[in-house]
Amino acid sequence: MDRRHVLKIGAATALLTGSPAVLAKRSDESADVVVVGSGGAGLTAAITAFDLGVKVIVLEKMPITGGNTQLSAGGMNAAETVIQKKKGVEDSWKTMYDDTMKGGKNINNPQLVEILAKNSAGSIDFLLSLGADVTDLGRMAGASVNRTHRPTGGEAVGHNLVHTLRQNAIKRGLDVRTGARVLKILSDKQGKVAGVEAEDRNGRKYKINAPVVILACGGFSANLERVTKYRPEYAGFSSTNQPGATGDGLDLAAALGAKLIDMEQIQIHPTQAAGSKILITEAVRGNGAIMVNREGKRFVDELTTRDAASAAVLKQTGKSAFLLFDQDIRKSLKQIEGYYHLELVKEGETPQELAKACGITDGGALAATIKKYNDYQAAKKDEEFGRADMPRPIKTAKFAAIEIRPGIHYTMGGVKIDTKTRALRAKDEQPIPGLYGAGEVTGGVHGANRLGGNSISETITFGRIAGAEAAAYAKAARKKV
C-alpha cells in the first residue's frame, strides 16, 4: 500500500477515534473555543469558528464522531433554496415558519423558528460549499411542500453530512478528540466561562482554559430514566437514538445556572421497526407508503405530524401497524434497500399473500384498502383521512410491508438560548457570558412536536450561528487580555 494512502487513512482515523499524540498530552491546555459534541451541530460550529480564525478544540465522549446526526435518515428541511428553484418547487421561509409553528402546537419560540426558516437556504448553500449532496427533494410529515433535501436517489442524509463535515474538519486540521468526556464547565468569579475540566478515555483528567464553550452534545432520548421522569407513560418504550444521547449537556449547563425549558416535550416516532431499534425513515411515507393495522385497514393520514401518527398507531390492535409499499416506491428511495438487507420486510405477490406473511387477519380487507387508496390517489383526493400528498399508487408487485411501532426519538426541550445561541440564566434569563448552545441540547425551536427534516436544519443553522458568535466573543476576549 502506498505510504501516502496510509497517512490519509490515519488522518481520518484520528478524527474518528482520537490521535495517539492527543491522548498522550494531558497537561492543562488553552483554546479560544471548546465545542462539546461532534454531531452535525458541533462539527458545523467548529468548522465555522475555525474558519473565522480562532483555535477550536472539539470534545466527544463517544468513541466515534457523528452523534445522532449519523443516524439521521429523512433529510433536511429548507425553503427558497437553489435546489427547489431548479426543480420548480415554490416555497417560502414564511410557509416553513408556519408549518413549524403549527407542528409544534405554537409553543415554539417564534424568534428561533424565524431564524430556522430564514436561514435554511443559506445552510443548504453552506453544505453545498463543503461538498455535501443535498440535491434530491422529498416531503416529510407536516410540510406543505417538497422541502426535504437529501442525497441523490433519496439516500440517508446523516451519513453523507457527517462524512462531509468530518472530511472538512480533517482538511482544516481541526483538533477533534473522541473518548473525551467533559466533567465540568469552568467559570471565573464574575460568572464568565473559563474553560472545561475533561477526562480522556484512560480516565486522566485535564483542563482546557477557554473563554467560550459551545454545547452541542444532543438530547436525552437514550436516557430512559430521565425520559420517564418527565413522561412516565413512556416506560417500556425503546429508543431510536445512539447510546450517547443521555443529556450530559443539560447537567453541565444547569450547573452554571442555565435555564432548561420544555423538558416534558419528548417525541415518539411512529415508525420504529418492531422488535428492533431501527428507525424507518419518514421518507418512505413521503414517497407514497401507507400505514395499515392488523385488520388490513388504513387508520390515519400517513403524513400527519409524528405525535398524531404515533398516537394513532398506539390505538391499534397490538399497539403496532404495518408500513405498506410496492416496488415502485421501493425503487424511488434507496434507503428502502437497507431494510431488505436487515430482513425487516415481508412480501407477497398479492395483497392476500402479503397479509398472510404479516399476520394481517383479513387479506380481502387489505386488498380493498389498497384499491381504495389507489382510487384516492388517482383522483388526488383522500376522502377518508385527507392526506394531501399521494405521489404514487400502490399496485406493482411484489407488495411489501414492515411492522412498526412508536419509539422514543427526540427531546424538544433543553437549554434556553437567545437568537445569538447564548445560553440564558434561570434566575434572570440573561446570557451566561461565553456559553452557547446549538442542536438538540437546546429547547424552544420545535415546541411540542418536531417536524421530520427540521432537526438537521436546526443543527446546521444554529451550529453556524453558534460558531460565528463564539468566534466573535473569543476574539473580543483576546483583546481584553
Closest CA to 237 of 163, 314, 173, 175: 314
Residue 270: half-sphere exposure toward Cβ, Cα within 13 Å = 34
Return the bridge partners of 431, or none. 424
For residue 149, which of 97, 101, 85 has the smallest C-alpha distance? Answer: 85
Provide the annotated active-site residues.
Answer: 306
The full DSSP string for 109-170 is: -HHHHHHHHHTHHHHHHHHHHHT----EEE--TT-SS--EEESGGG--HHHHHHHHHHHHHH
Q: How far, in Å, are 39, 42, 425 from residue 428 at the CA level?
A: 30, 27, 6
Q: Exposed (0-12), middle (13-18) or buried (19+): which is 406, by Cβ within 10 Å? A: buried
Q: What sign has the CA pseudo-torsion 392, 396, 399, 400?
A: negative
Do residues 221 and 240 lie in contact, with contact meaning Cβ atoms separated by under 8 Å? yes
Antiparallel, parallel or unpaired: β 148-150 and 136-138: antiparallel
Phi, psi (5° rounding) for residue 459? Answer: -65, -40
Distance CA 3, CA 130 (A): 27
**Distance from the first to the final alpha carbon of the chain:** 49
Q: Which residues contact 129 (CB under 8 A, 6 or more apart)?
A: none
Q: Which residues does 228 contact at the CB level (< 8 Å), separation at least 6?
A: 234, 235
Cell numbers at 142, concatenated: 407536516
Peptide bond into 398 cis (omega under 30): yes
